[in-house]
Amino acid sequence: MPELPEVETIKNEISPYVVGRKIKSVEVLTPMTVARPSPEEFKKRITGRTITDVTRRGKYIFFHLSGGDDVLMAHMKLAGALLANPAPGKHTHIVLHLDNDTTVEMRDPRKFARMWLENDESAVADKLGPEPFDKDFTVKKFGGILKKRKAPVKAVILDQALISGIGNMYADEALFDSRIYPARPADSLTPAEVKKLYTSIRKVLRKGIEKKGASVRDYIRPGGEHGSAHTDFLVAHGAGNKCPGCDGAIERIVVRGRGTYICPKCQPEK
């Protein structure tokens, strides 16, 4: 599922195909995949524009366009993909035809993924919490966020308005790396635990980016390749596996309605 490392990889790998290219035509095969404006208006507003840059914020991708303030946004949600010059396939919802004979397709078997236009990237960016790798995202700032919440620590690090980019898989990996039970109230973490979790979050995300994302299920890169980050996962989606830290087994529990993988011995409830 596309989280920060997967979206970062998509952004990096789609950029060479699209930056500096003009959008010649647009096909909307599934109207609901265009969140706004209407599919007709969407097509009209982006046709003829040149993609000047591609950036990422949280799990969102921004395609910056020439000649105006419109930003073309994309979110993969659970199973979306952006593919460059793909082989014919199913679940294609939007196709961009570029002036270098490149085609970019948004595909998603679940139909959750969306593309849309905003006047300015701040319309989305301003609602998101800090990027985990930002200079101003310090241990102190992270501690301040956790201290104010009684919700499970996992729910807090998944909240995009508080910290952006972390999803279910990397949350589990980070909490295991820190040996913290995911349902602990966020404000109950000791300063040492806050620091450890801060470090673990950045560690698992960095590793995920290095491995081009985790292909646990549907995630594929713009060229069609899989990522390999999941081969390094220690707990995520690993119920029944042996815990790498002790002789116990990984268990699946539910925290705030989310499937959550833990080692009950290494991450005690307290």
Burial of 6 (0-12, 13-18, 19+ CB in 10 A): buried
Of the pair 140, 148, the CB lying nearest DNA is at 148
Distance CA 173, CA 261 (A): 8
Nearer to DNA, 125 or 139 (CB): 125
Residues tagged active-site:
2-3, 59, 258
Shortest separation between residue 258's beta carbon and DNA, angstroms: 6
- Minimum CB–partner distance for residue 163 and DNA (Å): 10
Measured between alpha carbons, how far is residue 42 from residues 52, 73, 88, 200 in Å? Answer: 18, 11, 24, 41
What residues contact 130, with CB distance under 8 A and at least 6 apart? 136, 137, 141, 163, 164
Nearer to DNA, 222 or 238 (CB): 238
Q: How far apart are CA 251 and CA 176, in angstroms?
A: 12
Nearer of residues 149 and 265 to DNA, judged by Cβ = 149
Residue 51, SS3?
strand
Q: Give the span between the Cα atoms of 87 and 191, in whole angstroms.
A: 51
Contact footprint for DNA (CB under 7 A): 1-3, 32, 58-60, 75, 77-79, 91, 109-112, 127, 148-152, 155-156, 158, 160, 167-169, 186, 237, 252, 254, 256-259
Residue 242: strand, helix, or coil:
strand
- Taking the C-alpha atoms of residue 56 and residue 7, their distance in angstroms, rounded to an integer, is 7
Instruction: Give least dist CB 73 to DNA, A.
Output: 10
Distance in Å, CB of 33 to DNA, minimum: 10
